[in-house]
Amino acid sequence: MKEKLKHNPMRDVTLKQLRVLAAIARTGRITSAANELGVTPPAVTLQLQLLEESAGVPLFDRTKRGLRPTDAGAYMLGIQARIEAALSECSESLRVMQGLGSGKVSVGVVSTAKYFAPRMLAAFAEAHPQIEVRLVVGNREDTIAALAQLDLDIAVMGRPPESIEVEQQIIGDHPHVVIASPNHRLASRRRIALQALDNEKFLLREAGSGTRTLMERMFAKAEIVPQIGMELGSNETIKQAVMAGLGIAFISAHTVAAEVESGRLCVLPVEGLPIVRQWYAVRNQEKHLLPAGTAMWEFLVSKGSGFLPDVSALIHPQTASPRTR
């Protein structure tokens, strides 16, 4: 006599229950989730109860500030996001097969890339007017999270993530320099040793940003501990603070081309700089690219370098270091 197969309770989970789970996580409250979904609070409560019964563990902690996902809830939210992404891909594939359009593609760019990415995507849109392009600008942490959740088809960033399996292709060079106000005492120097910056106040991006990490590695290798003048949340704020004389900054040359050309900022001729990394096109290996995404990927890899700002005039060739990845 054959042994009866054990029942898997998760086989009874429905898409409606998972969407209720996501709505509660977004809003933190049963009533808010009900309003978002267009149903009654008792209906949301029932679906959550059924889902927790199937899971066998609580999916939310009840706190004074609302419902917060438990570890099990957070895990199931990740599964829900993957299911929604798979359904979206299926829908898009069917649209293409039915001849209802040529699809859409979502591209995330780290904030430093916003100085050239819009021009690059505009050129793609002009060449492919039938494809809908969605651009998402965020910091490195948010962009990696969106890649991990399969919310993005492709990302443009300076350093591919190590936390997820990705496919990556180089777009082009990404030089980094030290900038100062034209009135800074070092602005008139023709050559500056890195050690001469030891007493200068540096304006930095938030911890974890690609530019800050690169700067920290540069100074650690030279056994220099820079003075931290201020931590700022965007390249634009850093540029304004440098112009105001609040300090100097290590920054992507692609973010300061206009200000240097107009004389509002200057690039200091520091020995060993610029440090040249690369811009990458990156995609999650678990993300299946549909025709629109494939077209965007091929465009970025083959033509993306042509949209990078020309910063050759900003670089002091006598101080430049070899290119590195």
Check whether 150 has a pLDDT greater than 90.
yes
* Residue 250 shares a structural domain with residue 288: no
Contact status, residue 72 vs residue 55, Cβ threshold 8 Å:
yes
Examine residue 241 and state whether it is found in any structural domain, yes or no: yes
- pLDDT confidence of residue 321: 46
Residue 264 has φ and ψ, to the nearest 5°, of -85, -20
- pLDDT confidence of residue 71: 95
Share of the chain above pLDDT 70, in %: 93
- pLDDT confidence of residue 201: 94
CATH number at residue 165: 3.40.190.10
Structural domains of the chain, count: 3
- Secondary structure class of 297 (helix, strand, coil): helix
* Residue 148 shares a structural domain with residue 229: no
CATH number at residue 17: 1.10.10.10
Return the sign of the alpha-carbon dihedral for residues 156, 162, 168, 174: positive
* Residue 168 shares a structural domain with residue 239: no
pLDDT tens-digit map of 50-85: 999 999 999 999 998 899 999 999 999 999 999 998
Domain hosting 21: range is 9-78
pLDDT tens-digit map of 33-43: 999 999 999 99
Examine residue 182 and state whether it is found in any structural domain, yes or no: yes
pLDDT tens-digit map of 211-270: 898 999 999 999 888 888 899 989 999 999 999 999 999 999 999 999 999 999 999 999
What is the distance, to the nearest Å, from the Cα of residue 215 to the centroid of all Cα atoms in its chain?
Answer: 19
